[in-house]
């Protein structure tokens, strides 16, 4: 790719960027959210049209007109936001456009399911491929998306945040597949915000910043601090200072619970559990994929209805909880799946930020545009949201900036409890630092925070207490020196019997 530029309304996404990938290599594209990574790769895969510059594939000019055209010429892609047909089966999603048919053109369902099973087993995953994709959590959907792309015979496989919803074991299985494809001569383009994963799998690294090329480097010759420095435009000392120290719990000790759950559970989702969340603390939920973390968090907001137990806020039993009741009682919820449950893509940044506070800013039933603008501009500045205007459709923002918009929405509602389910998923190291700093500051101001992250390092660094989940049950609570990655993993491995609980 030579001198690639791309402009969206009010935004220069790419400016004269060069990029190349060789057969049989894993090439990572790195940069902050909004650096232009996804835009560059969507041009390569035919999602966006080529405006200026040129692409050469196998020595021949290449100008994909659509993703289907790109696939036909050997380029498969897994994009950052999983795009599947929610009411079709796993097998139908994997084999879409390639369904085996009989002489009369009818789909051969047995063969379709058999081929889909082979594709999933190649990733080390055995699931019922005849079930609807909507029956499975985000992580499984991500693996299905990966299986579909890998199953197509490709020369180049573009993987944009493929591991964002995967646990450690699944990442290892995926990387084994990636290495096999590399050894077969496939060029792998890899985008991730997990720096450790970059160095596990990558041969070369291209760094973008603000839509421009910073440079291309051999991974073995670029230290981690140097990589982050190139991404952020900072020197190593400044980079080192970004990593927040472990949360201090002194100001939390003795504070009263804001929310108390007793015997709270939902049949088939999470077993009954007790949990208190105190004012001014960050309570981390730790556990492997499928442990019940998200299911537990959704009960606190009323997004799912509990089948047992009670929730009390400030000592008052809420009875039948719903999202409206939760919001009215000072609870905000930033969901794991920001695309389908978080943003309203066609609405502006302003409208998305103000969604949860219409009641507060609507004197006499009329929404105050002036107040909306004032609030939106305040939080765009406070959270450093990169957007040319608060009137920009939120779908035009990068994934990390969309995540900040959702965070801004709930901060604008001034909640007493903020539930953050994977708030750093798919965002860069600088934005992660900003989110962690925001959590630290908000908790110091007295806000209770329920924090879920697949990265144990983040949970350990940010939490005053940690509740450990396994097999859809709460098995332990940790505090003080117990909040350690190795301790948490030992608790999970031991089923909780080795943990000292509170």
Q: Are 460 and 257 in contact (CB under 8 A)?
A: no
pLDDT tens by residue, 310-325 = 999 988 998 888 988 9
State mean pLDDT over 25-40. Answer: 88
Helical packing angle, 399-412 and 369-382, nearest 10°: 120
pLDDT tens by residue, 140-150 = 887 888 888 87
Written as one string, the DSSP assignment of 221-280 is GS-HHHHHHHHHT--HHHHHTTSPPPPP-TTTTTPPEEEEEEEEEETTTEEEEEEEEETT
Q: What six digits make up the tokens of 231?
A: 């991404």
Domains of the chain: residue spans and CATH: 2-240 (3.40.50.300), 243-330+415-502 (3.40.50.300), 345-414 (no CATH)
Residues 152, 153, 156, 159, Cα dihedral to 10°: 30
| In the predicted structure, residue 500 carries a pLDDT above the cut 50 | no
pLDDT of residue 81: 62
Average pLDDT score over the chain: 86
| In the predicted structure, residue 403 carries a pLDDT above the cut 90 | no
Query: Which residue did the predictor score with more confidence, 24 or 338?
Result: 24
pLDDT of residue 244: 47
pLDDT of residue 20: 95
DSSP H or E stretch at residue 382 = helix 369-382
Question: What pLDDT band is residue 226 in, cutting at 50, 70 and 90?
Answer: confident
State mean pLDDT over 24-31. Answer: 94
203 vs 205: CA distance, rounded Å: 7
CA end-to-end span of the chain: 57
pLDDT of residue 249: 54
| In the predicted structure, residue 389 carries a pLDDT above the cut 60 | yes
Which residues, including other chains, have CB under 8 Å from residue 231's CB and lie 6 or more apart?
Answer: 30, 31, 32, 35, 207, 209, 214, 428, 429, 430
* φ, ψ dihedrals at 94, nearest 5°: -70, -40
State mean pLDDT over 25-41. Answer: 89
Highest mean pLDDT among 293-302, 320-329, 492-501: 293-302
Question: What pLDDT band is residue 237 in, cutting at 50, 70 and 90?
Answer: low
State mean pLDDT over 149-175. Answer: 81
* φ, ψ dihedrals at 134, nearest 5°: -70, -15
DSSP H or E stretch at residue 478 = strand 473-479
pLDDT tens by residue, 244-278 = 455 555 455 656 789 999 999 999 889 999 999 99
Query: Which residue did the predictor score with more confidence, 302 or 141?
Result: 302
| In the predicted structure, residue 363 carries a pLDDT above the cut 80 | no
Measured over the CA atoms of residue 297, residue 303, residue 304 and residue 305, the dihedral's sign is positive
| In the predicted structure, residue 426 carries a pLDDT above the cut 50 | yes
Q: How far is CA 253 from CA 308, 313, 316, 381, 441, in A?
A: 29, 19, 22, 32, 17
| In the predicted structure, residue 243 carries a pLDDT above the cut 70 | no
Q: What is the DSSP letter of 35?
A: S
Exposure string of 13-48, with b = 16+ CB inside 10 Å and e = fewer, is bbbebebebeeebbbbbbbbbbbbbbbbbbbbbbbb
Q: What six digits make up the tokens of 24?
A: 């049989």
Mean pLDDT is lowest, of 361-365, 442-446, 469-473, for: 361-365
177 vs 75: CA distance, rounded Å: 17
DSSP H or E stretch at residue 406 = helix 399-412
pLDDT of residue 177: 83
Q: Are 353 and 331 in contact (CB under 8 A)?
A: no
Exposure string of 55-94, with b = 16+ CB inside 10 Å and e = fewer, is bebeeeebebeebeebbebbbbbbbbbbebeeeebbbbbb
pLDDT of residue 436: 82
HSE-CB at 184 with a 13 A cutoff on CA atoms is 14
State mean pLDDT over 365-370. Answer: 80
Which residues, including other chains, have CB under 8 Å from residue 301's CB and lie 6 or more apart?
Answer: 321, 323, 326, 331, 333, 419
Mean pLDDT is lowest, of 180-184, 382-386, 447-451, for: 382-386
Instruction: Measure CA 229 to chain center.
Output: 23
157 vs 25: CA distance, rounded Å: 11
pLDDT of residue 298: 93
The residue count for the chain? 502
pLDDT of residue 336: 79
* φ, ψ dihedrals at 34, nearest 5°: 90, 0
Three-state SS string over 44-113 comes to HCCCCCCCEEECEECCEECCCCCHHHHHHCCEEEECCCCCCCCCCEHHHHHCCCCCCECCCCCECHHHHH
Query: Which residue did the predictor score with more confidence, 247 or 293?
Result: 293
């Amino acid at each position: 790719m030579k001198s690639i530029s791309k402009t969206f309304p009010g935004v220069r996404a790419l400016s004269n960027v060069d990029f190349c990938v060789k057969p049989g290599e894993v090439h990572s594209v790195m940069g902050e959210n909004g650096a232009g990574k996804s835009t560059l790769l969507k041009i390569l895969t035919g999602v966006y049209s080529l405006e200026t510059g040129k692409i050469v594939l196998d020595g021949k000019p290449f100008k994909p007109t659509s993703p289907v055209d790109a696939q036909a010429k050997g380029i498969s892609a897994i994009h950052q936001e999983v795009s599947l047909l929610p009411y079709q089966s796993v097998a139908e999603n994997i084999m879409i456009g390639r369904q085996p048919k009989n002489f009369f053109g009818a789909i051969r369902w047995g063969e379709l399911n058999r081929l889909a099973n082979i594709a999933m087993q190649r990733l080390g995953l055995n699931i019922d491929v005849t079930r609807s994709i909507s029956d499975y959590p985000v992580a499984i959907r991500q693996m299905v998306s990966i299986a579909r792309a890998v199953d197509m015979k490709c020369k180049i496989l573009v993987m944009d945040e493929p591991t964002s919803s995967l646990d450690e074991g699944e990442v290892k299985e995926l990387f084994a597949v990636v290495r096999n494809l590399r050894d077969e001569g496939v060029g792998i383009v890899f985008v991730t915000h997990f720096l450790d994963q970059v160095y596990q799998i990558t041969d070369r690294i291209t760094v973008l910043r603000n839509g421009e090329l910073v440079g291309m480097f051999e991974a073995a010759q670029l230290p981690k601090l140097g990589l982050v420095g190139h991404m952020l435009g900072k020197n190593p000392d400044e980079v080192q200072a970004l990593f927040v120290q472990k949360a201090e719990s002194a100001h939390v000790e003795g504070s009263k619970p804001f929310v108390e759950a007793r015997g709270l559970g939902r049949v088939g989702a999470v077993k009954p559990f007790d949990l208190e969340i105190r004012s001014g603390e960050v309570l981390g939920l730790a556990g492997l994929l499928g442990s019940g973390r998200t299911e537990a968090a959704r009960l606190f907001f009323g997004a799912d209805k509990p089948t047992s137990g009670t929730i009390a806020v400030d000592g008052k039993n809420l009875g039948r909880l719903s999202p409206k009741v939760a919001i009215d009682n000072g609870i905000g919820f930033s969901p794991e799946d920001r695309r389908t449950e978080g943003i309203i893509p066609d609405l502006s940044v302003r409208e998305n930020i103000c969604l949860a506070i219409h009641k507060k800013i609507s004197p006499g039933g009329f929404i105050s545009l002036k107040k909306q603008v004032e609030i939106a501009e305040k939080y765009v500045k406070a959270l450093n949201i990169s957007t040319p205007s608060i009137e920009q459709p939120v779908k035009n923002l990068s994934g990390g900036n969309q995540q900040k918009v959702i965070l801004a929405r709930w901060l604008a509602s001034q909640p007493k409890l903020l539930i953050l389910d994977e708030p750093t998923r798919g965002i860069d190291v600088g934005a992660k630092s900003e989110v962690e700093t925001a959590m630290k500051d908000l908790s110091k101001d007295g806000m209770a925070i329920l924090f879920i992250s697949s990265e144990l390092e983040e949970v350990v660094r940010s939490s005053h207490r940690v509740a450990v989940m396994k097999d859809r049950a709460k098995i332990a609570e940790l505090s003080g020196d117990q909040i350690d990655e190795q301790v948490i993993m030992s608790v999970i491995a031991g089923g909780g019997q080795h943990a000292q609980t509170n």
